[in-house]
């Protein structure tokens, strides 16, 4: 009986502990599960900025270069919608700047760099600027947007550099009238920068090989290469030697060996002899300076060609 009495309290005590554990365990389940829901919400919030950044990157993509350069050339052509006598009314100093712009636009081997059609158009445009022909300039500039699509990368780059150089000449003219010259300068420089940016390594290599220096004497343009400079130096040296030999031959003839009909003939012969001596001596000296200058120019062009 005593053993049965002890077994029953122990059974009640174990059942109580078992039910108490079952009651406590459900309390732990909602507490641990309550920490899990915020995690997926943070992941969703982190995915939104990346999507927004990707959309902004796609919307900020640049436009094609051909479209922008053609539109800039159209704007440049509109800047030349000037009165027919606009260039003729420019002051003399601005006319000189206009001639400098024409030289910068067309100097060098323009046909080789820009192509046949564009090169001839730029040559005609430079002549129109030199003659202050506003109407012809307007009609020639309007052809440029049509020629842009058929140009190679090298031609676009050379065309752009010429526009930048000529545009700086227009910018140096300052304010005149209602600012038409500054509008032209800004349009030319902007268009030239866009065109010159489209440069491939092959075109740069071809341009560096044809390293020449352009000299302009009025309407005459002379492109000097290292080979031409060396040839010119050789010709100047030979001409100087001949001039020196002739002057020495004239001076070696004594005046007493010649017979003159009268005093007037004697005076005329002396003056002629002095003129010939001065001419040939001056030719010899100038030939020497020309030879030295062409040799230095040839070495400079050769060094620039080798460095490029």
pLDDT tens track of the chain, all 308 residues? 444 444 444 444 444 444 444 444 444 444 444 444 444 444 444 444 443 333 333 334 444 444 477 888 888 888 998 988 899 999 988 999 999 899 889 887 888 888 889 989 999 999 999 999 999 999 999 988 888 888 888 888 888 999 999 999 899 888 888 889 999 999 999 988 988 876 554 444 444 444 566 666 665 667 778 888 899 999 999 999 999 999 998 888 777 776 776 778 878 888 888 899 999 999 999 999 999 999 998 888 888 766 65
The pLDDT, as a whole number, for residue 13 is 44
- Does residue 102 fall inside a structural domain? yes
Residue 30, token pair as written in the block: 């909602």
End of a domain among 167, 198, 229? 198
Q: Exposed, middle or buried by CB within 10 Å (0-12, 13-18, 19+), for 243? A: buried
In this structure, the answer to whether residues 297 and 244 fall within a common structural domain is yes
Which residue reads 């009986």 in tokens? 1
In residues, how long is the chain? 308
Q: What would the two tokens of residue 156 be?
A: 């676009």
Q: Are residues 96 and 175 in the same domain?
A: yes
104 within a domain of the structure (yes/no): yes
Q: How far apart are CA 112 and CA 150, in angstroms?
A: 15
Indicate whether 271 belongs to any domain: yes
Instruction: Tell me if 58 is assigned to some domain.
Output: no
Residue 112 lies in a domain: yes
DSSP-assigned beta bridge partners for residue 222: 215
User: Residues 6 or more apart from 152 whose CB is under 8 A from it?
Assistant: 115, 203
- Same domain, yes or no: 149 and 261: no
Q: Report pLDDT for 41.
A: 43
Find tokens 């030939």 and name the residue. 287
Retrieve residue 165's tokens: 């150089």
Same domain (yes/no): 194, 234: no
State how far the Cα of 223 lies from the Cα of 131, in Å rounded to an integer. 22
* pTM score of the predicted model: 0.51
Same domain, 165 and 249: no
Strand, helix or coil for residue 216: strand
d(C-alpha 207, C-alpha 48), whole Å: 50
C-alpha span between 303 and 297 (Å, rounded): 10
- The reply to whether 83 and 184 lie within a common domain is yes
Q: Which domain holds residue 302?
A: 221-306
Is residue 37 one of the residues assigned to a domain? Answer: no
Query: What are 115's two structure tokens?
Result: 């192509």
Of the three residues 139, 167, 198, the one that is the final residue of a domain is 198
> What is the per-residue pLDDT for 35?
44
Same domain as 261, residue 194: no
Residue 204: inside a domain, yes or no? Answer: no
Are residues 296 and 250 part of one domain? yes
d(CA 218, CA 49): 65
In a shared domain, residues 177 and 231: no
Please state, in angstroms and as integers, the Cα–Cα distance from residue 304 to each residue in 17, 77, 155, 307, 308, following that order: 100, 36, 22, 5, 6
Token pair, residue 199, equals 């440069």
If you search the block for the tokens 């012969």, which residue do you land on?
A: 269
Separation between Cα atoms, residue 212 and residue 294, nearest integer Å = 13
Q: What backbone phi and psi angles, to 5 degrees, belong to 224? A: -110, 125
Kindly state whether residues 174 and 295 are assigned to the same domain: no
Residues 92 and 164 in one domain: yes
Q: Are residues 83 and 191 in the same domain?
A: yes
Number of domains comprising the chain: 2
Q: Is residue 275 part of a domain?
A: yes
Phi-psi region of 177 (alpha: psi -120 to 50; beta: other; left: phi over 0): left
**Final residue of a structural domain among 166, 198, 230:** 198
């Amino acid at each position: 009986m005593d053993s049965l009495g002890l077994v029953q309290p122990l059974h009640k005590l174990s059942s109580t502990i078992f039910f108490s554990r079952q009651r406590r365990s459900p309390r732990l389940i909602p507490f641990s599960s309550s920490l899990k829901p915020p995690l997926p919400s943070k992941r969703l919030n982190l995915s939104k900025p990346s999507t927004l950044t990707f959309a902004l990157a796609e919307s900020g993509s640049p436009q094609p270069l051909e479209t922008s350069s053609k539109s800039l050339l159209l704007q440049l052509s509109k800047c030349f919608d000037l009165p027919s006598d606009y260039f003729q009314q420019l002051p003399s100093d601005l006319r000189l700047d206009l001639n400098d712009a024409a030289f910068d636009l067309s100097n060098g081997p323009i046909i080789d760099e820009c192509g046949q059609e564009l090169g001839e158009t730029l040559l005609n445009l430079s002549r129109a600027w030199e003659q202050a022909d506003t109407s012809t300039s307007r009609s020639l500039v309007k052809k440029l947007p049509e020629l842009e699509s058929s140009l190679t990368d090298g031609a676009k780059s050379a065309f752009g550099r010429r526009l930048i150089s000529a545009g700086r000449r227009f910018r140096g003219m300052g304010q005149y009238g209602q600012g038409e010259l500054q509008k032209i300068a800004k349009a030319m420089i902007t268009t030239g920068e866009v065109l010159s940016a489209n440069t491939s390594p092959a075109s740069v290599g071809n341009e560096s090989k044809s390293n020449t220096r352009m000299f302009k004497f009025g309407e005459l343009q002379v492109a000097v290469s290292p080979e031409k400079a060396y040839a010119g130096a050789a010709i100047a040296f030979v001409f100087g030697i001949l001039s020196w030999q002739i002057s020495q031959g004239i001076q070696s003839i004594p005046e007493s060996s010649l017979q003159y009909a009268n005093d007037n003939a004697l005076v005329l012969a002396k003056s002629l002899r002095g003129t010939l001596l001065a001419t040939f001596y001056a030719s010899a000296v100038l030939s020497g300076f020309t030879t030295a200058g062409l040799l230095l120019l040839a070495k400079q062009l050769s060094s620039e060609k080798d460095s490029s």
